[in-house]
A and B are shown apart, each in its own frame.
Chain A
Amino acid sequence: MKEVPVKIEQNGAWIGIRLGLEEDHMVIPPPVNRKVAFRDVINLEERKNLLIVTVRGNPETVYRILTVEKVVAIMRRLILTHCNGYRLNAYFLSPAIRGGVLVTDAQWEKGSIVVVRTGIWFASAGKQVCVPLSDVADIELTKKEVQGRQTDVVKIDHVDAGEVVTSFVLCPISTLQVLYNFLTDATKSMEMKGDELDEYDQQVAMLVYSGMDSSAIINMLSLNNKRLNAIYDKLINLGIAEVVEVRREVKLTTKGIKYIADATKQ
Chain B
Amino acid sequence: MGRILIVDDTLFMRTLLKNILFSGGHTIVGEAADGEEGIAKYKELKPDLVTMDVVMPKMNGIESLKGIRQFDPNAKVVMCTAVGQEQMVKLAIKTGARGYIVKPFQAPKVLEEVKNVLAS
**One of B1-9, B40-48, B64-72, B108-116 contacting the partner:** B108-116
**Interchain residue pairs with CB less than 8 A apart (29):** A98-B109, A99-B105, A99-B106, A99-B110, A100-B102, A100-B105, A100-B106, A100-B110, A101-B100, A101-B105, A101-B109, A101-B110, A101-B113, A102-B89, A142-B83, A144-B84, A163-B108, A163-B109, A164-B104, A164-B106, A203-B12, A210-B16, A210-B105, A210-B106, A211-B106, A211-B107, A211-B108, A212-B16, A220-B16
Which residues of the other chain, B, contact A164 by a CB distance below 8 angstroms? 104, 106
Q: Which residues of A contact B89 (CB under 8 A)?
A: 102
Chain B minimum-CB-distance residue to A216: B19
Among A143, A155, A163, A220, the residue within 8 A (CB) of B106 is A163
- 12 additional contacts, CB 8 Å, given A207-B16, A210-B105, A212-B16? A99-B106, A99-B108, A100-B105, A101-B112, A101-B113, A144-B84, A145-B87, A164-B106, A210-B16, A210-B104, A210-B106, A212-B19
Contact of A155 among B83, B105, B108 (CB under 8 A): B83
Within 8 A of B (CB), among A125-158: 142-145, 155
Q: In the docked arrangement, what's the CA distance between A136 and B20, Å? A: 26
Q: CB distance A102 to B19 under 8 Å?
A: no
Whether A223 sits at the interface, judged by CB under 8 Å, is no
Q: For the complex, give the distance between the alpha carbons of A216 and B87 in Å.
A: 34
Does chain A have a CB within 8 A of B101? yes
Q: Confirm or deny: A124 has a beta carbon within 8 angstroms of a beta carbon on chain B.
A: no
Which A residues between 84 and 107 are near B, CB-CB below 8 angstroms?
97-102
Pick from B20, B23, B102 the residue with the most CB of A within 10 Å.
Answer: B102
B96 to chain A, nearest CB (A): 16
Contacts of B102 in A (CB 8 A): 97, 100-102, 166
CB <8 Å contact, A100 and B19: no
Using CB atoms, name the residue of chain A closest to B99. A101
Q: Which of A101, A142, A143, A163 is packed against the most chain B CB atoms within 10 Å?
A: A101
Determine if A206 is an interface residue (Cβ-Cβ < 8 Å). Answer: yes
A145–B103 CA distance with the chains assembled, in angstroms: 18
Q: Beyond A97-B83, A155-B83, is A206–B107 a contact (Cβ under 8 Å)?
A: no
Asked if residues A100 and B103 are in contact (CB atoms below 8 Å), the reply is yes
Tell me the bound Cα distance from A203 to B105 in angstroms: 13
Query: Which residues from chain A contact B113 at a C-beta distance below 8 Å?
Result: 101
A259 in the interface (beta carbon within 8 A): no
Say if the beta carbon of A14 comes within 8 Å of chain B: no
Asked if A206 and B106 make an inter-chain contact with CB atoms under 8 angstroms apart, the answer reads: no
B68 to chain A, nearest CB (A): 21
Q: Mark B70-100, 1 if CB is under 8 A from A, else 0.
A: 0000000000000110110110000000001
| Residues of B contacting A102 in the complex (Cβ-Cβ under 8 angstroms) | 89, 100-102
Question: Which residues of the other chain, A, contact B101 by a CB distance below 8 angstroms?
Answer: 100-102
| A182 lies within 8 A of chain B by Cβ | no
The closest CB in chain A to the CB of B79 belongs to A102
Q: Is the CB of A145 within 8 A of B104?
A: no
With contacts A97-B102, A100-B101, A102-B100 taken as known, whether A220 is within 8 angstroms of B109 at the C-beta atoms is no
Q: Which residues of B contact A145 (CB under 8 A)?
A: 86-87, 90
- The answer to whether A206 and B109 have CB atoms under 8 Å apart is no
Smallest beta-carbon distance A200→chain B, Å: 11
CA distance A216 to B17 in the complex (A): 12
